[in-house]
Homo-oligomer: A and B are copies of this chain.
């Protein structure tokens, strides 16, 4: 029997031309300007490891290391990240008429959001490839997560985020030593500013889908959901979509598991891309039957993480994934997102982020129309902790004086 390897990464492939690129050196986009995706020797993985072996590994995302790009186990210096819970939602499910409703809750990850998955793998791989200075635009949470891992790996990070990004992410990124700037605009403006910075030649561009490994980290959401369900898939997964990396990663994960034979090859979940009414480029493209998004301007939503007006790199793969799985794309108003947040908190106690809450409203609407059936097993992706959004979840409460008597004041 051949000796086993830590990673079975074999190459990088252009998502448009199919051309191969060398994975042993840092890579950004293909010659056509599209994303490169990591390829693995899945026959080798099948010979090297089984689900039973994985079941006995530590409960973090590195349990899937054969399907991740990092070559050297000594390179991994994480925080025990991953294997976030898949939580039954009996009370909310009853209310929505979806008894088999579940939440994949990403809030336990470092910095409280799913962005830590992309950072855990992306930064580890960047370190392995010898990169020393990274740069990225961010809607806040990715910058916080990448700064955290960059500090851990001794790598410099420059991050540019909109002034309206969740304020606490400024502190997370800055305390971890990142060079953080605010920009009076949206993430698309931040992306252009990062482009100018990178053009000066000192930083490597780790913008969403401009390097191949962030999506590999996000892929672990799909691997975990399959393992947590006993190596099968649900009927529907609803995903809040900004840049689209998470949904692309989940789809890639499930395709790889099918080719490994670890999940049945005849069933994919119907993937639902959920966007905010105030920023819905993918929903528009889906409805128009288009293959990519049209640029939007002055988009606005309090689900700030999905305020990505023009996700040109991710949208083709998102639209493909949605269409190939018989999925759909839906928009949710901010009012419905906040109402859903109140509902899940009252019914189940959980406080998801507003982006995650959009999936509740979307599931409710899809159940009303019958697109989701009563016996469908439905997984909502909550991408992060609601406690990072104090402005969205503000309350006023009665004030007692020191002796415990009502003052009549509410604050």
The answer to whether B112 touches A385 (Cβ under 8 A) is: yes
- A80 → chain B, closest Cβ, in Å? 3
From the candidates B84, B170, B402, name the one contacting A397 in the complex (CB within 8 A).
B170
The answer to whether A182 touches B400 (Cβ under 8 A) is: yes
Across the interface, which residues of B come within 8 angstroms of A85, CB to CB? Answer: 60, 79-81
Of all chain B residues, the one with the shortest Cβ separation from A169 is: B387
Across the interface, which residues of B come within 8 angstroms of A1, CB to CB? Answer: none
Across the interface, which residues of B come within 8 angstroms of A202, CB to CB? Answer: none
Across the interface, which residues of B come within 8 angstroms of A350, CB to CB? Answer: 79, 110, 148
A67 to B184, CA, bound (A): 55
Cβ < 8 Å to B, chain A residues 377-397 = 385-388, 390, 393-395, 397
The answer to whether B108 touches A168 (Cβ under 8 A) is: no
- A176 → chain B, closest Cβ, in Å? 5
A386 to B404, CA, bound (A): 30
A148 to B352, CA, bound (A): 12
The answer to whether A184 touches B346 (Cβ under 8 A) is: no
The answer to whether A172 touches B351 (Cβ under 8 A) is: yes
The answer to whether B349 touches A399 (Cβ under 8 A) is: no
CB within 8 Å for A400 and B193 given contacts A349-B151, A350-B79, A395-B175: yes
Q: Mark A399-411, 1 if CB is under 8 A from B, else 0.
A: 1111110010001
| A147 at the B interface (CB under 8 A) | yes
- A282 → chain B, closest Cβ, in Å? 24
| A192 at the B interface (CB under 8 A) | yes
The 7 nearest A-B residue pairs measured at CB = A80-B85, A193-B404, A151-B349, A108-B108, A59-B59, A175-B345, A148-B349
